[in-house]
Amino acid sequence: MRILLIEDDAVLGAAVRDQIAGDGQSVDWMQRLDAAHDAMAGAYYDLVLLDLMLPDGRGITFLKALRTRGDVTPVIILTALDQVSDRIEGLNAGADDYLVKPFDLAELSARIGSVARRYTGNPNPIITHGPLDIDLAARSIHRDGKPIQLTAREWALFEAFLARPGQLLSKTQLEDKLYAFGSEIESNTIEVHVSRLRKKLGAGIVETERGMGYRLGAP
């Protein structure tokens, strides 16, 4: 997934960014709402982590504006505001989850996974695809009972296909899943990772539509 983190606290923001990256996700970290607006105008995000108190405004106003214009990107609020009224306001504004600071980073990872699965229409973290048994929460794969190890980037790419079964994904869309702003992207990056997935998971796991993109292969 590509995640937008909007958090002005330098220490917490760095910790959350490192946690997300360690989970194999791509993350762009913005410390102001104006920068977050620009980021969302220029890229597609699978999820937003949103602080409510930012230097140039309130996160709740940003969230309401997203929902008013029909943007359904999942949003998890991260805030020190712990009153029940604050939670109600955030959820009523369109947040998908609400996490009060300080929080455990492992819990944040679990909540990100839970929200992402709900949006793909399958809240069950255990899925089967042909001979593959996949645990989305544990980020593990078994083929005919034997474990298969994927790198963080291979997993991020495979997860993108699992989230949209049957849907054609362009090379640009897939690159967005792997890298944050400012990262070097080689012209053959997607081809290399798709080739590795086929070697590890089976030749038919990813289908190619020449000149158009890739999709998850039939089970």
Helices then strands (H, E): number in the chain? Answer: 8, 13
Per DSSP (E only), the strands in 1-139 are: 2-6, 26-30, 47-51, 53-54, 57-58, 75-79, 97-100, 126-129, 132-135
Q: Give the phi and the psi of residue 178 in degrees, each rounded to 5.
A: -100, -30
Whether residues 76 and 155 share a domain: the answer is no
- Buried b / exposed e over 124-135, threshold 16 CB at 10 Å, is eeeeebeebbbe
Whether residues 73 and 141 share a domain: the answer is no
Whether residues 99 and 57 share a domain: the answer is yes
User: What's the pLDDT score for residue 203?
Assistant: 93
- Determine the average pLDDT of the residues in 77-99: 92
Q: Kindly tell me if the per-residue pLDDT of 184 is higher than 80.
A: no
The residue among 119, 145, 167 that closes a domain is 119
**Tell me, what CATH number does 206's domain have?**
1.10.10.10
Whether residues 110 and 170 share a domain: the answer is no
* Contact criterion met (CB below 8 Å) for 55 and 31: yes
Give the pTM.
0.74
**Tell me, what CATH number does 73's domain have?**
3.40.50.2300
Whether residues 108 and 136 share a domain: the answer is no
Q: Kindly tell me if the per-residue pLDDT of 118 is higher than 90.
A: no
Whether residues 108 and 13 share a domain: the answer is yes
Whether residues 82 and 158 share a domain: the answer is no
Q: Kindly tell me if the per-residue pLDDT of 181 is higher than 60.
A: no
User: What's the pLDDT score for residue 153?
Assistant: 85
- Determine the average pLDDT of the residues in 98-108: 94
Tell me which residue range forms the domain holding 92.
2-119
Number of other CB atoms surrounding residue 173 within 10 Å: 17
Whether residues 164 and 108 share a domain: the answer is no
- Determine the average pLDDT of the residues in 152-166: 87
Whether residues 87 and 173 share a domain: the answer is no
How many domains would you assign to the chain?
A: 2
Whether residues 91 and 175 share a domain: the answer is no
Tokens at 27, concatenated: 């993350």
